[in-house]
Amino acid sequence: MFAPYPVRRFTVEEYHQMAATGVLREEDRVELLEGWITPKMMTHTPRHDGSIDLLDEALRQWLPAGWRIRTQSAISTADSEPEPDLVIVRGTSRDFLERHPGPEVIGLVVEVADSSLERDRNKRRLYAHASIPVYWILNLVERQLEIYHQPSGSTTEPAYKEATILKPGDRATVVIGSQPPGKVAVADLLP
Cα–Cα distances (Å) from 139 to 78, 93, 124, 167, in that order, read 27, 29, 14, 10
Give Rg (Cα) of the chain: 17
Question: Measuring CA to CA, which residue among 63, 118, 53, 46 is closest to residue 85?
Answer: 53
**Domain residue spans of the chain:** 43-189
Question: Measuring CA to CA, which residue among 165, 131, 133, 130 is closest to residue 147?
Answer: 165
Domain 43-189 grouped into CATH 3.40.50.300: no
Question: Measuring CA to CA, which residue among 140, 85, 143, 147 is closest to residue 113?
Answer: 140
Task: Give per-residue pLDDT as tens, 89-104.
Answer: 999 999 999 999 999 9
**pTM > 0.85: yes or no:** yes
Residues 33 and 82: beta-carbon distance below 8 Å: yes
How many C-beta neighbours within 10 Å does residue 156 have?
A: 5
Task: Give per-residue pLDDT as tens, 43-92.
Answer: 688 999 999 999 999 999 999 999 999 999 999 999 999 999 999 999 99
pLDDT band at 3, cuts 50/70/90?
A: low
pLDDT score, position 173: 94
Termini Cα distance of the chain = 38
67-95 b/e (C-beta count within 10 Å ≥ 16 → b):
bbbbeeebbbbebbbbbbbbbbbbeeeee
Task: Give per-residue pLDDT as tens, 120-162.
Answer: 999 999 999 999 999 999 999 999 999 999 999 999 999 999 9
Residues 183 and 58: beta-carbon distance below 8 Å: no
pLDDT score, position 1: 53
C-alpha to C-alpha distance for 191 and 186, rounded to whole angstroms: 10
